[in-house]
Structure 1
Amino acid sequence: MAISVTIEVHRDFTVAASFDNVFDLLSDVPVSGSHFPKVDQLINLGDNAYRWEMEKIGVDKHAIQSIYACRYESDRDAGTIIWKPIKGEGNGVVSGSWKIKSVDEGTHLTFTTEAKMTLPLPSLLKLAISPVVKHEFNALIDTYTDRLKTKLSS
């Protein structure tokens, strides 16, 4: 038995940092990923692909862990960083992008991601668990973007 939960997240914000500083930070996946909360391991798979293994949540046999892998493509001229899922890696499929644009105040960022997580839980729990998973994922993204804002403002 397993349930699938799909989560879409979109964030827009502006930082005082230059385009180049923002792009350099975000296109370096290990550096950018170091700001993401609750990462147990970020494993370099080569060819700009990484497997994300998140911290386990729960206790003993009831603990669950989100694992997924993405390949990253950075295009400085277009101001984009795109990640595409690597199928067959873990229990999640994650895709998304950063769009980075110079503005008078510094740099405007648009973050978009979609995650589909398959969790080893009884389907009866989907109605109860789905909102909790979505809330937790949004909280992780908020912490991540807040940490990036702090880093890029210093």
Structure 2
Amino acid sequence: LTTAQVSRLISELETRLGTKLIQRSTRQQALTDIGATYAERCRQVISMVDEAESEVTGTASKPKGRLRVLSMGSFGHHYVFPVMAEFCKHYPELTVEYTTSQYVPDLLAKGVDVSLYLTESLTDSRFVARRIGTIFSVLCA
């Protein structure tokens, strides 16, 4: 926008609001007290709109709250636990509750958000499984 266009838009806004937002002189321009108040409120509104958009689009800057993670004991100790510290550093607003178990408990009753288990299939159709890798093992006697 050109200076003239901005000046015209501000004049139209002042007319619509019925008050002067900018004190003009030949040498300078400065916000009036009411203009400063109006500008600050507009900044707050823009910030609130940005936050609302982030919430509904899932693009909030960083996750926060609590994350309950459950995994099999040996798998968790070898693969999950070693990366947990770095994960927590990357997301400091997130509190991670990490537990291990050899048996898959009632995940809904336990309030588990993420469960990592070695299995061929799910026994409960309410859950979604994703293959994250393959582990080969050898049984020795």
Could you state the TM-score of these two structures normalised by the residue count of structure 1? 0.24
- The structure whose residues are more often strand, as a share, is 1
Higher RCO (CA 8 Å, separation ≥ 6 residues): 1
- The structure whose residues are more often helix, as a share, is 2
Could you state the TM-score of these two structures normalised by the residue count of structure 2? 0.25
Find the structure with the greater CA-based Rg.
Answer: 2
